[in-house]
Amino acid sequence: MLQIKKPLISMHIPLRHFEDFIDETILRRGLSYFKKGQVHEPEEIRTGEYEAIVEGTEDYTVRLTITNGAITEHVCNCPYDMGPVCKHVVAVIFYLQQDELELKPKTVQAKPVAPKKTKKRKTIAEQVDELLEKTAHDELKQFLREQASMSVAFRNLFLSSFAPHNSDESKGFYEKHLKSILRSAKDRDGFIDRSDARHVDNAVTNLLESAKKQIDNRNFKSAVFICTTIMEQMVEALQYADDSNGDIGGAIYAACEMIYTIARSQPSEDIRKLMIDYALSAVAKKKYSGWDWHVDMLRIAAILLKTEEETERLYRELDKEMSSGYVRDEAQSIKYEVIVKTKGQKEAGDFLEANISNPNLRRKAIQLALVRENYSKAVSIAKGGVDYDEKDKPGLVIEWYDWLLKIAQAQGETHKIIEYARRLFIENFRPEQDYYAILKEHIAPDTWVAFVEEVIQDIAVKERWYNKEQIAGIFIKEGWMDRLFELVCKSPDLHTIAQYETYLSGKYTAEVVDLYVNALLAYMKTNVGRSHYKEACRYLRRIIKLGAREKANEVISCFRTEYRNRTALMEELNNV
């Protein structure tokens, strides 16, 4: 059966111009696959949704969704994760566009040309529906029995998909199933390598899909059994598996999210009790200790609790987490939400005040003060955060200044808005707001340029890796392309030139080309290896796109002469 682990990727790639949206290397490889006849004819699963097998190191399954002449979703079950589109997807696109592009794939043997059909072929979904309508009930049952006896994977998928109808359903069934999957994936030393971890994840994905189906049908008990089993078994597997691809961890996160979904879906009382007992028991037994899922169990219990006994039980577990660090902060935050839920805002407010050093609770206190328009209190809490975190947590200090800016904006205090926005623009390389736009809005136009020059000077004296980008951003916003060009000339490496090429190419096309040429010559002197050669060729193509083919040819000629013994370089230059 189809095993596509990765989710569909949503993009908008116009079919007629798809080459403009995909990396040239991937395009070239996909075209090669198509020309060699490695793409099996795509099947139309549903209207606009295509599925094809592409032969590679293995047979990979590609799915594409085409809407209004554009690819809107695509997925391939190959392991490629270095970009949004793999060569197998590209190969299928070339297949679908072969008439438009006047391409022909290689054929294994000549086939007679069949007359063109005027009637549109039925989609796979339509064919399946037609067969289901025409096939007798007993025939379908016999087919399922045969498949279940021949394929363990199909049998387990069938049993898990229809588990609510199975009188023997229990958590033990899923534990046995998952342990079998993990056992078969281990090598002789009991280790699961990266490749086998992916196969484990494919099998677990089938179970997750089954759990989702049960949730959609509100068969929550089956879903809880599946998800908690996946979490427990996969957490254990992390101790003896190479999860560098994130397959096993991803399955745990997906299962945990489903448990959250059930908890928020107002399950029946028996399911609620089952889930809260599991969550609190998992915390007490430290099943997920050391992982984020430990905190998730506390949060899930907080969502589900109803009785005083359950509340006290949760409090006891939360109080055990109050030693220090991240888990303490999360536990205090959960306890605050439980107090709000069970005792009301007054007691919750007292708890907030008593634990204001917790950044989660400080954030909540500022938000509450703003909602109540108690601006002086909001300012006091935010400034308290600056003082408390200034020594050890500069990232939090930035956040507290951002809150001070928001408070000043709420009050319309121009001088404070300028003070805080200026600080945040200079100090913060991951802005929450557009501080530059805020400054421009509040500073008089006749003093703006002088103000900006002062800001540039303040940035320039700081020794930080992002100074150049920050100053360049000012030049771009103000349209000072001459100064941007001067800045690029001070550090004309390939990355910097490419970063600002778009802004400079209009007025400084020839100069940008010369910068590229000089940077490429310097780059090749100190870099060896195919990956570097591909990088150099990528910049040669940029030179060509700037209309300087002759300059590119000069560089290519120089490389062919200077580095004629670098075979890999010669091969890459042939592709320019």
Distance CA 412, CA 537 (A): 53
Answer whether residue 22 shows pLDDT above 90. no
Q: Which residues on adjacent β-strands are paired with residue 467?
A: none
pLDDT at 561: 95
C-alpha 495: how far from its chain's center? 25
pLDDT at 166: 61
Answer whether residue 10 shows pLDDT above 70. no
Residues 356-393: tens digit of each pLDDT: 999 999 999 999 999 999 999 999 999 999 999 999 99
Residues 152-184: tens digit of each pLDDT: 667 766 766 676 566 566 788 889 888 888 988
Residues 533-569: tens digit of each pLDDT: 999 999 999 999 999 999 999 999 999 999 999 999 9
Q: How confident is the model at residue 46 (pLDDT cuts 50, 70, 90)?
A: confident
Residues 6+ apart with CB under 8 A from 143: none
- What secondary structure letter does DSSP report for 241? B
Report the b/e string of 488-524 with b at 16+ CB within 10 A.
beeeeebebbeebbebbbeebeeebbebbbebbeebb
Q: Which residues on adjacent β-strands are paired with residue 59?
A: 55
pLDDT at 169: 63
Residue 442: CB atoms within 10 A of its CB come to 13
Are the beta carbons of 576 and 540 closer than 8 angstroms? yes
For 231, the 3-state DSSP assignment is helix
For 500, the 3-state DSSP assignment is helix
pLDDT at 370: 96
Are the beta carbons of 542 and 505 closer than 8 angstroms? no
Closest CA to 205 of 157, 242, 265: 157
Cα–Cα distances in Å, from 529 out to 521, 543, 571? Answer: 15, 22, 12
Average pLDDT taken over every residue of the chain: 89
Instruction: Tell the CATH topology of 356-457.
Output: 1.25.40
Q: Give mean pLDDT, residues 111-123.
A: 53
pLDDT at 56: 84
Q: What percent of the chain has pLDDT over 90?
A: 61
Three-state DSSP string of 66-115: EECCEEEEEEECCCCCCCCCCHHHHHHHHHHCHHHHCCCCCCCCCCCCCC
pLDDT at 110: 44
Closest CA to 71 of 21, 24, 121, 124: 21
Q: In this structure, what are the phi and psi dihedrals at residue 8, rounded to the nearest 5 degrees? A: -60, 135
- Locate the domains of the chain by residue range: 9-107, 356-457, 510-573
pLDDT at 106: 67
pTM above 0.75, yes or no: no
Max distance between CA atoms of the chain, in angstroms, equals 86
pLDDT at 2: 42
Residue 464 in tokens: 């930080």
Closest CA to 222 of 236, 208, 201, 232: 208
Residue 123: CB atoms within 10 A of its CB come to 17
